[in-house]
Structure formats: C-alpha cells, structure tokens
Amino acid sequence: MKKYLHIIFYSMIILTIMGCLGHSTESKAPRIYRIVIQPKYPFLMMNIEYKPLVDYISRATGCKFEQVSSGSYTNFMARIEETKADFSFQNGFLFISLEKTKGAKVIVRSLCSDDSAEDKGLIITKKGSKICLIEDLKGKRIGIASRKAVSGYLAQAVLCKKNGVNPDVHANLLFLGREDEVLKKVLEGKVDAGFISENTYFGLKDKFKAGEIVEIASTDFYPHWCFVSFRNTDPKITERVKKALLKISMDKPEERRILLKAGISGFVEGSSREYDIVRKAADFLGVPY
C-alpha cells in the first residue's frame, strides 16, 4: 500500500509541475519592442507628441511597441543601454555615434513639417537686443541644447567659425538640455542669443508672440532625424517597421494627425552616407563621436 501511495504522491507532483509549465507558456506576455526618442520637449510633452506614432507602429506591424523618453541629450545614450532598446529616433549626430557604438542602421529618414528631408539651424535673439550680426556674438551668453544637436549647435558653430567667431572660445555657452529651453531662456533674457533648429522653432511659435524673437542668421541645410535599428534588432521586425513608416501618409486624415503631432510630414528611404555632412561638421569643430 505504501508503495502505491508513493507512486500517487510523486505523480501528483509531476502533474503539478507540468501544469505550471503549461500555464506559464500559455500566459507568456507578448514581446515589447522599445523605441527611444531624442528629447525635444519636456518629458510629458514628448509622450503626448510621439505616442500616436508609436501606437501606429504597433497597429501597422502587429507587434507591441513602447516609447521610451529621455529627459535630455545627456542621458539619451544611457536610456538606450539601460532599456535594451530595439530602435531609436534621433538627429544625425546621435545616429553617427550610435553607428559606432551599437551598429545602428538607418531604416528611414523623417521629413520636416514642410516636407523637406533637411533642416537648418537658426541663431536667434530677443527683440531689442544689440546683437545684429554673427560678429556681435563675441563675449555673449549663447544658449544651446547640447553639442550633440545638429541644427541646434553643429550647424551654427560651423557658420560662426567660418565667420571668425568660435562659440567655444569667443562666447559663453550655456547647455540647457533641450531646444524649448533655449527659446524660453532667450525670451526671458537669461541668455543673449540661442541656437535652435528651424523645425523646432516653428513648432514652438505658438509659445511666443510674433516679433518677440529676431533671427540673426540661418545655416546650411542638414539631413533631418532618422529612425534606426541596432545590430541585435530582429531583421524581420525591422522590415515591418520600415514598411509601416514608409506607408504612413499625410493624405489620410488620421495618419496626418499622427504625423503633425510629431512635427513631421512623413518618412523616406535613408542611408548612412547621407549623414556625411554631419561627420564633416563634427570633424571641422573637433566634436568627438
């Protein structure tokens, strides 16, 4: 009798374990793919602006995607590492850095709100300022988001240097983390001038009255942001994301709202070589990447 009781006891243990394993397999949560987006606005605003696009990617690919935002340029790269991100959406400088460190590959390039695949930088000041020319920036406080900003630092720094003003030597740079902060500090008079991308500037125009800001100069055009995958990203998922982003259109009312919310008008094919101009600018200024 004891023999049979032992058999029944161990059989029940085995069945229980198998049941748990089976239940675990059936209830396994779907894979979540993470997208880290370059900080352009405050954290909450970033979620509002880009969530519709991330939700669209989820619907179009049939996979679950999650947006990851970083508070500033400073922790952007760290967020990619700590969240084990599968994709990211950022400017050309951050891309060429990620290409070296994480084998980033351009999936698509985004179009600015005016349908251009390129953006330019602006040098701005507050109305009433005595700054009228690039040469007037000498000895002044200049607000920038980061040295990693393409149309918010690199483009302007190249222009200034070619006109005899090295911002790192002849001016006092204040690192403000985001371009919306640059505009804010210019309006408040806490900096004498600011470097900001034209696309971001127009996206923030409802934040101030016409005539409060004066544009001192504008730079050459540089390629706009790109959507990238990494060396460990699943190629099949990458292809799904690429097709979804190339398909989204301003011609469809719902998709138009998604794109305008993110401050873009669509996506086009892209490649690493299109960002050579960013590499040349960084090399010219001695900014490591």
- Picking from 91, 56, 55, the residue whose alpha carbon sits closest to that of residue 76 is 91
Range 8-35 burial, b when 16+ CB lie within 10 A, else e: eeeeeeeeeeeeeeeeeeeeeeeeebbb
11-15, 116-120, 256-260: which range is least confident on average?
11-15
Does any domain span residue 266?
A: yes
Q: Are 95 and 39 members of one domain?
A: yes
When divided into structural domains, the chain yields a total of: 2
Determine how many CB atoms are found less than 10 A away from the CB of residue 83. Answer: 14
Find the radius of gyration of the CA atoms of the chain: 24
- Shared domain for 188 and 57, answered yes or no, is no
Residues 249 and 202 grouped into a single domain:
no
Same domain, 83 and 205: no
Whether residues 124 and 218 fall in one domain: yes
The model's confidence at residue 5, banded by pLDDT at 50, 70 and 90, is: very low
Residues 248, 261: contact at Cβ < 8 Å?
Answer: no
Question: How many C-beta atoms lie closer than 10 Å to residue 266's C-beta?
Answer: 21
- Tens of pLDDT, residue by residue over 180-208, are 999 999 999 999 999 999 988 988 888 78
pLDDT at residue 22 in the model: 39
- Predicted confidence at residue 210, as pLDDT, reads 72
150, part of any domain: yes
187 and 129 co-located in one domain: yes
pTM attached to this predicted model: 0.84
In a domain, 163, yes or no: yes
Q: Domain for residue 189, yes or no?
A: yes
Which tokens sit at 36? Answer: 């880290």
Range of the domain at 198: 118-223
Does 75 have pLDDT greater than 80?
yes
What letters, b where the CB count within 10 A reaches 16 and e where it falls short, cover 196-231?
A: bbbbbbebbeeeeeeeebbebbbbebbbbbbbbbbe
Specify if 154 maps to a domain.
yes
